[in-house]
Structure 1
Amino acid sequence: MRKYISYYIRNFDYPLFFVYVFLCLFGLVMIYSSSMMVAIVNGKEPDYYYKKQLFNLVVAFFTFVLGAFFPYKHYSRKKIMMFMVGLIITLMFWLLLFGTGEAETGSRSWINLFGIMSFQPSELAKLIIILYFAGAFYNKSLKTPMVDLHPNHIIYPIIVWIAIIFFVANETDIGAVLIISGIAIAVVAASGIRIRTFFKFFAELALFGGAIIGILALFKRDSIFTENRIGRIKAFLNPFEYEQGSGLQVIRGYMAIGSGGLEGVGLGQSVQKLGYLPEPQTDFIMAVIAEELGLLGVIIVLGGLGFIVFKGILIALLTKDPLARMISAGIASWIAIQTFTNLGGLSGLIPLTGVTLPFISYGGSSILVLSFAMGILINVSMYEKLEKRKLRGTQ
């Protein structure tokens, strides 16, 4: 046991770990700064959201440790894969029957976990898609060379993806649908299959995904095409035309970013968070960072997130293990896609989706699952370092 721990300590990816911790703590500080007025308006203590996120981070640390010290190779075991699928389908059914959040956010995306906390199953679905797809492709490659695989060989991942997309789309959480779809495509692209097969697989996902969304749009038209969502599209096209309505949040975000300039107005000195910018501690937290800490604060956050994405892609490129490659590429793509979706909505590049900024925004489900994913990525990195040491004859 002592030798086992010694291997882990010697091969632990400390730069990746410290960047992850820094982003979490930086996000905690900015949640405290951005949420005080929101908490007071809602009749709570000024540090209400700060304390809740601090609790989330404490719990998230244990999920990180679990991910870091549980060997990633086990995720390809059929029993674990079946458990993951069973877990997410159970949570999705639970959500379908007893979900909450539609009145607050327009999406029925949360379930109550025994009164302890609210949990968003779609966050867990992002990670399970990565692990299940990677495990399924890896197991199939043990019997058939990866370059010879075609979509019929991997029908089960397609079925799992269809089931998850159906449930998430039924929540009317469009942002999560796009991210989960992007993650699935990234894992397939990293699997090593032929380009022609990849495009066939992509076409199948697009066909089934489009059919699911089309059917739901037909039967849940009023839930999907809400006034709020239509307003977001109008605001994306021309926010200043709707500055007293759906474009207000985007414009206030622009004002926060413009006010910050290079150096910012100072930590805690944001004006837009004082009731002008709705829920600034969630998907618009980067606007507060830009206002208070200026371009430097934005660069710090993007640099940290960029480093994690870079490390994930680097591990995927250097490893000879296809399972490690797919898991690393999937996690890196997840963080990259979600970051782009959040900042794209903030900057007006794409319509607002309500997606949080990884590690920075307030949210228990997000930080718990992302921390577990970071633990897995570090576990993959440790094994890669250990394998290289063995090849050199040192441990």
Structure 2
Amino acid sequence: MLKKYFRNYDYSLIVTTMLLTGFGVIMVYSASMVWSVMVLHQSSSYIFKRQLFWCFIAIAAGIIGMLIPYKMYKALVKPITIITILLLVFVLFFGTVSNNAQSWIDIGPIQLQPSEIAKLAVIIYLASVFSNKQSFISDFKTGVMPPLVMILLIFLLIAVQPDLGTAMIIAGISGVVILCSGMRTKHLMWLFGLAVAAILAMSLLMLTHVQAGRFTAAYKPFTVASTNGLQLINSYIAIASGGITGKGLGQSIEKAGFLPEPHTDFIMAIIAEELGLIGVLFVILCLAFLVFKGFVIGIRCKDVFGSLLAIGIAGNIAIQTFINLGAMSGLLPVTGVTLPFVSYGGTSLVMMMFTMGVLVNISAFVNIKRKKHKDQEERNIANTAN
């Protein structure tokens, strides 16, 4: 049985994911060498070794995601959702604070970020709910409102950490899945209006002083060049100095104490400086390919749950990439959102790899169905000819 799935996996997804992950480990090493010594007072390979450790766990998670039939998640949607909510509540009371957000749970020497788990949990939840509600999806009260209440709860639990970047990703993922759920256009317009109103209200009521300062840093960085604007300005310098081919791997100047935490959400600036436009395009094209393949798999999947699951996974990668690149280029305020598969971060890498495993598993089911359909058509043609 397993051999049949192995033959039908979309190996272009696996190869692209591994290329990105391997490239990310190399760039984390390059970007973090000076930071490990100057700030953490450890060896130059300290952060690299931690990322390499997480990389092996992530590969194992990806394999597990590939092997588990995706339809099992529909049966497990209730415990997955409940556990996710409990983790988000737990982190609010007992979590560890880092970068002004209480988003992590310490488990011995490692840190777990429940909001990364919540991204996949939301995709599974919405895919399950809307696949069950297809017969009455046009009924706003019974088909649309109940899942929105659950998503709002998860959104708020993450927003009050405060982690507005991940909260906006949750909102974006939800929007992508809802848009493809078969809902009436009128209801979609209502939801869009509600979402805009909710974002404005949240900006007025929940935005902290630190978060408000990030808007100034994003759109007027040179007015706060010595404080909030420092990171973006040095990102600009890194991007501008890289040119087409870059200064060479390991040759970045900005990582030497100028660009804060260059191995995390601003790692693309170091890629631009060291590998130039070529390195940047490599990452963007690889990520774009994963998103494209995810949507193609979702469109081809005849099972509504599998289709929405694949579309949600592709949407997650697209939205997270857009927010990360928007922050490092000054298009959006800095939110601390990592670049998928590339930035330093254990929970993010493991969950991203697991979701790609799920997507590869869906691709196997799609390919098997397509081959069966093709064989049946050929048999029908042969029977007709005879």
* TM-score over 0.5 (shorter chain): yes
Q: Distance in 1 between matches of 2:304 and 2:84?
A: 24
Find the partner of 2:34 among 34, 37, 44.
37
Find the partner of 2:88 among 92, 104, 120.
92
Matched AA of 1:158: L
Q: Distance in 1 between matches of 2:241 and 2:253?
A: 9
> Corresponding residue for 2:240?
258
> Corresponding residue for 1:278?
260
Q: Distance in 1 between matches of 2:86 and 2:118?
A: 12
Q: Does 1:110 align with 2:100?
A: no
By how many angstroms is 1:200 displaced?
3.0
Q: Distance in 2 between matches of 1:204 and 1:84?
A: 27
Q: Secondary structure at the match of 1:67?
A: helix
> Which runs of structure 2 are paired with 1:123-138 in the superposition (5 Å)?
123-138=116-131
Q: Alpha carbons of 1:231 and 1:212: their partners in 2 closer, same or farther (altered >3 Å)?
A: closer
Q: Distance in 2 between matches of 1:72 and 1:204?
A: 32
User: Which whole-Å deviations, capped at 9, do the CAs of 1:86-138 have from their partners, x for residues lacking one?
Assistant: 1111111210111112xx3011111112x041011111111111110000111
> Corresponding residue for 2:52?
54
Q: Distance in 1 between matches of 2:237 and 2:200?
A: 37
Q: Distance in 2 between matches of 1:240 and 1:206?
A: 30
Contact 1:235 1:242 in 2 (8 A): yes
Matched AA of 2:64: L
By how many angstroms is 1:167 displaced?
0.8
Find the partner of 1:238 among 191, 212, 220.
220
Contact 2:96 2:104 in 1 (8 A): yes
Contact 2:136 2:143 in 1 (8 A): no
Contact 1:191 1:325 in 2 (8 A): no
Q: Alpha carbons of 1:295 and 1:55: their partners in 2 closer, same or farther (altered >3 Å)?
A: same
Q: Distance in 2 between matches of 1:352 and 1:341?
A: 9
By how many angstroms is 1:210 displaced?
6.1
Q: Secondary structure at the match of 1:171?
A: coil
Find the partner of 2:190 among 191, 194, 200.
200
Q: Does 1:27 align with 2:20?
A: no
Q: Distance in 2 between matches of 1:393 and 1:161?
A: 42
> Corresponding residue for 1:81?
77
Matched AA of 1:375: G
Q: Secondary structure at the match of 2:103?
A: coil
Matched AA of 2:182: G
Q: Distance in 1 between matches of 2:246 and 2:309?
A: 38
Matched AA of 2:239: I
Find the partner of 2:12 among 10, 15, 21.
15
By how many angstroms is 1:201 displaced?
3.7
Q: Secondary structure at the match of 2:162?
A: coil
Q: Distance in 1 between matches of 2:199 and 2:71?
A: 30
Q: Distance in 1 between matches of 2:67 and 2:130?
A: 23
Q: Does 1:225 align with 2:208?
A: yes
Q: Distance in 2 between matches of 1:238 and 1:302?
A: 26
**Structure 2 runs not aligned, ≥5 long:** 377-386
> Which runs of structure 2 are paired with 1:333-372 in the superposition (5 Å)?
333-372=315-354
Contact 1:236 1:348 in 2 (8 A): yes
User: Which whole-Å deviations, capped at 9, do the CAs of 1:322-375 have from their partners, x for residues lacking one?
Assistant: 212211111111111111111111111111111110000000010011111101
Two-structure CA RMSD over aligned residues (Å)? 1.7
> Corresponding residue for 1:183?
173
> Corresponding residue for 1:119?
112
Contact 1:162 1:209 in 2 (8 A): no
**Structure 1 runs not aligned, ≥5 long:** 218-223
Matched AA of 2:321: T
Contact 1:158 1:205 in 2 (8 A): no
Q: Distance in 2 between matches of 1:289 and 1:327?
A: 31
Deviates more, 1:148-157 or 1:334-343: 148-157
Q: Secondary structure at the match of 1:304?
A: helix
Q: Give the TM-score normalised by the residue count of structure 2.
A: 0.93
By how many angstroms is 1:74 displaced?
2.0
By how many angstroms is 1:207 displaced?
5.6
> Corresponding residue for 2:380?
none
By how many angstroms is 1:214 displaced?
6.0
Contact 1:95 1:111 in 2 (8 A): yes
Deviates more, 1:324-333 or 1:287-296: 324-333
Matched AA of 1:383: F
Contact 1:287 1:346 in 2 (8 A): yes
Q: Give the TM-score normalised by the residue count of structure 1.
A: 0.91
Q: Secondary structure at the match of 2:101?
A: coil
> How many pairs align?
375
Kindly, what percent of the aligned residue pairs are identical?
A: 40
Q: Does 1:171 align with 2:161?
A: yes
Q: Distance in 2 between matches of 1:151 and 1:289?
A: 48
Q: Secondary structure at the match of 1:191?
A: coil
Q: Distance in 2 between matches of 1:199 and 1:74?
A: 33
> Corresponding residue for 1:221?
none
> Which runs of structure 2 are paired with 1:259-338 in the superposition (5 Å)?
259-338=241-320
